[in-house]
Amino acid sequence: MQIPILKLKNILLTSIQSDMTDDDALKYQSDVVSYLEKSDAKGLIIDITAMDIVDSFMARVINETARMARLMGAKVVLCGMQPMVALTLVEMGRELIGVETALNLDKGFDKLLEMITEGVDDH
């Protein structure tokens, strides 16, 4: 399953679907970083609205994807985490450490634009 990566102005927009195998997740990760290089985008939005389960593997993939994008100079915002997903991640003792988050895509977009224009250091 291919996760679409959309470019909107200078932002890359990706929405991860729930039924993603581990291989799909790793493919997504490398797709994002190669698209980032080609597109010259300044920011990345990782939307997880459709994910009803985030286990430790997916948490790691999301975390690493954000770190990779940041190493390449992009700002990153994760948005749309479902309440039950937040609950299980905290109970499991896992956190998406160092990833800026927003409630939904709308707020995530605003936040990312702000980070890009102000050059805010997102860790």
Partner 1 sequence: MIISEKSIELHIEDDILIARKVARQEMADIGFGSADQTRMATAISELTRNVIKYAGHGVCHIITESTPSEIVIKVEIEDYGPGIDDINKAMEDGYTTGGGLGAGLPGAKRLVNDLSIESRPGLTKINLEMTRPNV
Which residues contact partner 1 (rule: CB under 8 A)? Answer: 19, 21-23, 52-57, 60, 84-85, 87-88, 91-94
What is the smallest separation between the CB atom of 17 and partner 1, expressed in angstroms?
A: 11
Name the helix (H) or strand (E) containing 19: none
Q: Compare residues 6 and 57 and give the one whose CB is closer to partner 1.
A: 57
Could you give the strand order of the β-sheet that contains 100-102, starting from the edge strand earlier in sequence? 5-8, 11-15, 43-47, 75-79, 100-102
Where residue 63 falls (left for φ over 0; alpha for ψ -120 to 50; beta otherwise) is alpha
Minimum distance, C-beta of residue 5 to partner 1, in the bound complex (Å): 22
Q: How far is the CB of 83 from partner 1 (least distance, A)?
A: 8
**What's the alpha-carbon Rg for the chain, to the nearest Å?**
13
Min dist CB 15 to partner 1, Å, is 18
Kindly tell me which of 22 and 40 has the beta carbon lying closer to partner 1.
22
> Which residue's CB is nearer to partner 1, number 22 or number 114?
22
- Which of 22/106 has CB closer to partner 1? 22
What are the start-end ranges of the H helices in 40-104? 56-71, 83-92
15 bridge partner residues: 47
